[in-house]
Amino acid sequence: MSGRTVLVSGAAGFVGRAVTARLAASGAEVVVALRRARAVPGAARAVDAGDLAAPAPALAAAMRGVDAVVHAAGLAHRTGVDPAALAAANVTAARRVAEEAVARGVRRLVLVSSAAVFGKQHDGSFSEASPPRPDDAYAASKLDGEAAVRAAVAGSATRLVIVRPCAVVGPGCAGNIPRLVRLIRRGLPLPFGAIGNARSFIAVDDLAALIERAAVAGDVPDCVIGAHPEPVSTPELIRALAGGLGRKVVLLPVPASWLGAAARMAGQGELWRSFAGSFRADVSLARHSLGFSAPTPVRAALEATASALR
């Protein structure tokens, strides 16, 4: 990738940091667009772009001479977030970045979206051809952001690639993983031994490699899912985290149907689906079109994640 200039938004975030480091290691000149300019490892320069959901003259200026833009900024999946804030961060900001990229003649725009647009649970495997079915405000905002960006680049010379990663793991990740680590640390038996699901994950460095490929490959798909080819079950996930913590964990074989009923009675049905339901991605398109297959075993990525929290 030597000689190319790539602008990365959201470079201070979990995924954005990994993307910046990966691009820099490949020889690219990386410009990072941040709400408040500061040093980011691997970045050649930082731009104070302010709120990307508002007009950003600094962002427009930073895109001069840029070969590709990776839009990794956005509001992550959290509970209790105002839908208006989700719309501003994941729809309006994405559209503005796309509009600036088109106006400046940027040839490639990579939008980091989410496999959450397919829902929290999926019977069988899903692929890029599967219909989206977002089942919460976050997933809906990511899908709306995709539509807004598609509209912004339509008819232009800017080629759009949407990357939809499954759950991204690695040191510093958020979501269910830190919660499970806290449970394991208590040393109590956990009632999850009978969950027989299969969920797809991807290590953050592998996702960064896929995004880099999407930014530079000559023939690219419009949309690609990011995941390791082998999913893991929830009991396997817990054992991997326990291994990273250097602890043993006892998993009791409580019927999953009982636990699911209890979760729904407690108003935690959505959390239960994302924890115990199956969500298996078909990653053949990434392999066939981009020559990419995530190399880091999910167990190793989970162990590293937990080890960083020891």
Say how far apart CA 237 and CA 216 lie, in whole Å. Answer: 33
pLDDT reported for residue 2: 61
pLDDT reported for residue 78: 67
Identify the band that residue 37 occupies on the pLDDT scale cut at 50, 70 and 90: low
3-state secondary structure the chain: CCCCEEEEECCCCHHHHHHHHHHHHCCCEEEEEECCCCCCCCCCEEEECCCCCCCCHHHHHHCCCCCEEEECCCCCCCCCCCHHHHHHHHHHHHHHHHHHHHHCCCCEEEEECCHHHHCCCCCCEECCCCCCCCCCHHHHHHHHHHHHHHHHHCCCCCEEEEEEECEEECCCCCCHHHHHHHHHHCCCCECCCCCCCCECEEEHHHHHHHHHHHHHCCCCCCEEEECCCCCECHHHHHHHHHHHHCCCCCECCCCHHHHHHHHHHCCCHHHHHHHHCCEEECCHHHHHHHCCCCCCCHHHHHHHHHHCCC
**Taking Cα atoms as reference points, which of 22, 70, 20 lies closest to residue 45?**
20
The better pLDDT of the pair 306, 219 is held by: 306
**Taking Cα atoms as reference points, which of 163, 59, 185 lies closest to residue 108?**
163
- Buried b / exposed e over 113-124, threshold 16 CB at 10 Å, is bbbbbbbbbbee
- Is pLDDT at 86 greater than 80 in this prediction? yes
Cβ-in-10-Å burial (0-12, 13-18, 19+) of 80 comes to exposed
What share of the chain in percent tops pLDDT 70? 97
Stated pTM of the model: 0.95
68-85 mean pLDDT: 85
pLDDT reported for residue 238: 97
pLDDT reported for residue 185: 94
Residues 6+ apart with CB under 8 A from 254: 191, 192, 193, 194
Average pLDDT, rounded, for the chain: 93
pLDDT digits (tens, 9 = 90+) for 243-275: 999 999 999 999 999 999 999 999 998 889 889
Say how far apart CA 150 and CA 148 lie, in whole Å. Answer: 6
Identify the band that residue 26 occupies on the pLDDT scale cut at 50, 70 and 90: very high
The better pLDDT of the pair 38, 14 is held by: 14
- Is pLDDT at 38 greater than 80 in this prediction? no
Range in 75-89, 208-222, 284-298 with the lowest mean pLDDT: 75-89
pLDDT digits (tens, 9 = 90+) for 102-156: 999 999 999 999 999 999 888 889 999 999 999 999 999 999 999 999 999 999 9
Can you list the domains of the chain with their CATH numbers? 5-170+201-228+281-296 (3.40.50.720)
Are the CB atoms for 294 and 137 separated by under 8 Å?
no
